[in-house]
Amino acid sequence: MRNKSVIMEARDIRLAIELIELGARLQLLEAETKLSRERLLKLYKEVKGESPPKGMLPFSTDWFMTWQPNIHASLFMGYFRFFERNTQLRGLELIISAYRMYLGQIKRGGMDSVLSLTRAWTMVRFFEADMLQMVACEECSGEFVAHAHDPKKGYVCGLCHMPARAGKTRKAMGAVAVSVA
């Protein structure tokens, strides 16, 4: 018979609710809490009013290399590394704090969030597994997410060398057409 602590279960429930509100996927909840899958499903439905999305978690570092996700991932990692160096936060608390800071910055800039909490959590795991690293741009000196063990010399970020089609999404083009009309 397992000895369950009511206090520990309450902490896991509080943490699960916070993660669900931030958009965490069910797999993240399962990995970071000791609650059963059935309990997490009920909690997710109660908090969000719908079933959790199905599908696999992000598994490739390549998503973080395309220009817009790279900028958002790099912003998050800047906050993450700052909190890691200057606070006592560790683990999931560190990720949540950095993610909240990222969301606040994106909201102040009037932009859409590109990086989900689940992707941020996965990215931190990629850094811990030495699959990703931070690299300084030779033009602006900002630090950006890059594949681990790629050459650092000559790196130019997506802000200093934007792709030709950057920002030309249907949504952005629609906003331009509305503002011109």
Summarize the annotated binding site for Zn(2+) as residue ranges: 137, 140, 157, 160
Residues making up the annotated binding site are 137, 140, 157, 160
With H, G, I as helix, E, B as strand and everything else as coil, classify residue 133. Answer: strand
Identify the DSSP state of 63. Answer: G
Other C-beta atoms lying within 10 Å of the C-beta of residue 7: 8
| SS3 at position 146 | strand
Q: With H, G, I as helix, E, B as strand and everything else as coil, classify residue 42.
A: helix
| 71: three-class secondary structure by DSSP | helix
Exposure of 140 in the CB half-sphere (CA atoms within 13 A)? 9
Instruction: For residue 110, give Cα distances in angstroms to 30, 60, 103, 131, 176.
Output: 32, 28, 11, 31, 15
CA 100 to CA 106: how far, in whole Å?
10
Instruction: For residue 137, give the DSSP letter.
Output: -
